[in-house]
Amino acid sequence: MTLGGLLVRIGAGLAVVAALALALWLYARGWAPSRDQYPVQGVSISANNGPVDWGTLAAQGADFAYIRAADAADRRDPAFAANWRAARAAGLRYGALLEFTPCRLASDQATRYMTTVPRDNAALPPVIRLAFSPACTARPNRDLLLSELNTLVNLIEGHAGKTVLLNVTEDFDKAYDIGSGINRTLWLDGNFFPPDYATKPWVMWTASDMRHIDGVDGPVRWNVVTP
């Protein structure tokens, strides 16, 4: 085979690989679990998603939205109030999410939540997201972390009047075994495949963090509820 022929074959092979990669990416960005298996599905939204067309989002099949109230860098989400009002107006079920950080006292984080999120009997149970952040390198021992987290859980539940849901990433759960340390319902992460990393069953699952859907610019975290 001549050098020219070899180069043509290599080029054709690379084109096939690129086409397959593009097809997989397009499939992944539009994928969601079957509604037959998971009838209730929704999104997580924060200021990072930019302006949201809530009516379009609801029309695209979002049944609920969890809206970030504050992040682990000790900031209130600047879009929270607008997203909270708009989700309710669009007819979606809605709830608030707080990103926990071990770099701040639980009482301070609870105060930030309580001064950001209004008490609303129609809202979904509050969520505390447990994920490591580059902005916080602290790794307290398990007893200390569970003590702080219990304080945060109790304060937020007292404000909301509802039991919290814990959204735990795999690496955070491996470090602290949250499922066996705090008796609360779990929401786990895992792109495309149902997660199995916790010591107790999950009730919610982030099935994809790369889904693109009309009404939101860029990817969203797409979540499903166990039947």
Write the DSSP symbol of residue 188. E
Using DSSP, state whether 153 is helix, strand or coil: helix
Which two tokens mark 153? 């859980």
Please report the pLDDT score of residue 18 as a whole number: 46
Rounded-to-5 percentages of helix, strand, coil across the chain:
40, 25, 40
Domain 31-225: give its CATH architecture. Answer: Alpha-Beta Barrel (3.20)
pTM: 0.88
Q: Which two tokens stand for residue 119?
A: 């008490």
Report which DSSP code applies to 47. Answer: G
Give the H or E element holding residue 93. Answer: strand 93-99
**How many degrees, rounded to 5, is the angle at CA 80 between CA 131 and CA 206?**
40
51: how many CB neighbours lie within 10 A of its CB? 13
Nearest alpha-carbon partner for 44 in 82, 97, 93, 85: 97
Regarding beta strands 41-45 and 220-225, do their DSSP bridges make them parallel or antiparallel, or are they unpaired? antiparallel
Per-residue pLDDT of the chain (227 residues; tens, 9 = 90+): 675 655 555 554 554 444 444 445 555 688 999 999 999 999 999 999 999 999 999 999 999 999 999 987 678 999 999 999 999 999 999 999 999 999 999 999 999 999 999 999 999 999 999 999 998 999 999 999 999 999 999 999 999 999 999 999 999 999 999 999 999 999 999 999 999 999 999 999 999 999 999 999 989 999 999 98
Alpha helices in the chain (DSSP H): 3-30, 54-59, 80-89, 106-114, 142-160, 170-176, 178-181
**Where are the chain's structural domains?**
31-225
Residues 190-217 as b or e (16 or more Cβ within 10 Å = b): beeeebebbeeebebbbbbebbbbebbe
Give residue 23's pLDDT.
46
The confidence score (pLDDT) of residue 218 equals 87
Q: What is the pLDDT of residue 22?
A: 44
Using CB atoms within 10 Å of the CB of residue 106, give its burial: 0 to 12 exposed, 13 to 18 middle, 19+ buried: buried
